[in-house]
Structure 1
Amino acid sequence: MLARPKILSEADGDCVGIERIHGRSPVLLICEHASNALPAVFGDLGLPNEALSSHIAWDPGALAVARILSEALDATLVYQRFSRLIYDCNRPPSSPGAMPETSEIYAIAGNKDLSPEERLARTDALYVPFHDAIRGLIRDRRARGQDSIIVTMHSFTPVYHGRERAVELGILHDEDSRLADRMLRAAAAAPLYRTERNEPYGPEDGVTHTLILHGLSNGLRNVMIEVRNDLIADDIGQGVMADYLKGLLQQSLDA
């Protein structure tokens, strides 16, 4: 058996970030695409800086909004500290999208023709500890009688493959739509943003992996939030969006 390549150095640090670990809210915020950082061993993956700063490498603004929500709700936040170009933690290891060879218009040279050992090394270094950390939090919260409600935070580009997207806020779900239904009703009553169900992606696009893994499998209420990233490009936009989402969540949980 060939040795697995080393993914993270001591300088890279841990792949999992956890904030407000003792938060009292039942909401457990998860941000899989929080960062565009690459472990040092990968260099730039053969990509130009414009690609590495774009939406193909991360979800711009998503972590900032999640952090504001975490503070406002007193909710625990878990996020991945490395780019989804190395491993997309919202995809299972069997998915081609977990370590994509292309993303929109970019060919990712550093992901081309990965060996089984290279794929397994990335899975073990990034995917496994990230989701193990979430499992551990859910288990510990349950042990002390605290409920968990899974809320994943994402952002999306306003223009994809040359097509403009009119939707501004997406409320996504898989088979369990309990929380999404309530949030959509709350959004319809206070329509600050153009809000749609399962847009600009849906379960058929394979984007509900984290919801299935930690929400559906545990019988926990869950929802995935997608925000158009031009709306959260600065502090003001991030604050306004976080305050709006806080209201939707609180109304939905109170209901």
Structure 2
Amino acid sequence: MNTDSSAFDFGPSFSTTSSATGAEVIVVCEHAANWIPPGLADLGLEVSARNSHIAWDPGALGVARKLAELLQGPLVEGRISRLVYDLNRPPESPTAIPAASEIFDVPGNQNLSDAARAQRVQAVYEPFCAALADEIHRGKDALRLVVTVHSFTPIYKGESRAVELGLLHGRDDRFAEAMMVRQPETLPWNVRLNEPYSAADGVAHTLDLHGCDNGLLNVMLEIRNDLIATAEQQADWAEQLAPWIRSTLKEAFA
């Protein structure tokens, strides 16, 4: 199928919820939505695929919104499916516009022209990056930490995953390592460092670009999506994560 077109509007690629001045933490949720602009003809996918984890991170946005509220920080969230453009990938990455994801081919992303790829970068990635950079600049006097929130499927390519929460890092491992050694005993989660993904899988772009390059501490939270399937579960996870993050920031980076 041919989805090369400049005749349609991609719509907003992000939404920002600002906070009062003085916030120490900014929360980011790149894969918050599974929306595909109508002009892309659903990328040639059935509805089941468009609603599945290949198109977004189910449950992540609910956690991110509550976490930002509890940490009293701004939130920047993606509003377009990562199959259209993965906001956690740089334009030069082959996985920024994936031709296939897990067991699914993505027909609308195959054989794209350079112009069509550039169009998605300009319409989706660049506005999101600019919005996130603006929020970081706005809070530069107090901001110390970037937290990105993601979710992952409990079964991937037929293999079950026992990990429930992954703490991931890119070039700067300090905050992830500090959280690992400060996991509250009251939280019996199976927490692992750099699982089920790591920077080697190309998932550290936001952390490195907007965290490290701005001199900010950073960490990615990967939560198994069967554990945050409801609004109540999402709120509960955020309520457990917020004090853990806050205490780590206070105790390890005073």
TM superposition score category, shorter chain reference: over 0.9
Amino acid at match of 1:149: L
Normalised to the residue count of structure 2, the TM-score between the two structures is: 0.93
After superposition, where does 1:72-111 map in structure 2 within 5 Å?
A: 72-111=70-109
The equivalent of 2:232 in structure 1 is: 236
Give, in whole Å, the separation in 2 of the partners of 1:107 and 1:21.
40
Counterpart of 2:92 in 1: which secondary structure?
coil
Map 1:16-95; keep pairs closer than 5 Å.
16-22=14-20, 24-95=22-93
Q: Is the 8 A contact 1:23 1:74 kept in 2?
A: no
Equivalent residue, structure 1, for 2:149: 153
SS in 2 for 1:96: coil
CA distance, structure 1, for counterparts of residue 12 and residue 81 of structure 2: 13
Q: Distance in 1 between the 2:185 and 2:107 partners?
A: 47
Tell me, in whole angstroms, the C-alpha distance in 1 between the residues paired with 2:195 and 2:8.
34
RMSD: 1.5
Which whole-Å CA distance do the structure 2 matches of 1:147 and 1:160 have between them? 36
Structure 1 counterpart SS, 2:139: helix
Q: Which letter does structure 1 place at the counterpart of 2:35?
A: A
Per-residue deviation, residues 180-236 of structure 1 (Å, max 9, x unmatched): 112111226444210000000001101001011011112110000000000000122
Cα 1:153–1:234 change in 2 (3 A) is same
Work out whether residues 141 and 148 of structure 1, in 8 Å CA contact, stay in contact via their aligned partners in 2.
no
Measured after TM superposition, the shift of residue 20 of structure 1 is: 3.0
Report SS of the residue matched to 1:100.
coil
Shift of 1:148: 3.6
Alignment of 1:116-127 (within 5 A): 116-127=114-125
CA distance in 1, matches of 2:19, 2:89: 24
Contact 1:179 1:222 in 2 (8 A): yes
Deviations 1:102-161 (A, max 9, x none): 00111100001000000000000000110111111112222xx22241110000000000
Query: What is aligned with 1:5?
Result: 5
Amino acid in structure 1 at the alignment position of 2:133: R
Does the aligned pair in 2 maintain the 1:138–1:148 contact within 8 Å? no
User: How many positions carry a matched residue from both structures?
Assistant: 248
Instruction: Give secondary structure in 2 for the equivalent of 1:29.
Output: strand
Give the corresponding residue for 1:200. Answer: 196
Do residues 216 (structure 1) and 205 (structure 2) align?
Answer: no
What secondary structure, in the 3-state scheme, does the structure 2 residue paired with 1:214 have? helix
Inter-CA distance 97–104: structure 2 relative to 1 (3 Å threshold): same
How far has the Cα of 1:21 moved from its partner? Answer: 3.9
User: Structure 1: which 5+ residue stretches go unaligned?
Assistant: none
User: Offset at 1:25?
Assistant: 2.5
The alpha-carbon distance between structure 1 residues 127 and 8, as it changes in their structure 2 partners (threshold 3 A), is: farther
C-alpha contact 2:16 2:76 (8 A) present in aligned 1 = yes
Match of 1:165 among 161, 171, 187: 161
How far does residue 67 in structure 1 lie from its aligned partner after superposition? 0.6
Structure 2: how far apart are the matches of 1:7 and 1:251? Answer: 50
The answer as to whether partners of 1:151 and 1:224 remain within 8 angstroms in 2 is: yes
Q: 2:13 aligns with which of 12, 15, 25?
A: 15
Partners of 1:152 and 1:23 in 2: how far apart?
20
Query: What is the identity percentage for the equivalent residue pairs of Structure 1 and Structure 2?
Result: 45
Structure 2 unaligned runs (5+)? none
Give yes or no for contact 1:93–1:123 (8 Å, CA) kept in 2. Answer: yes
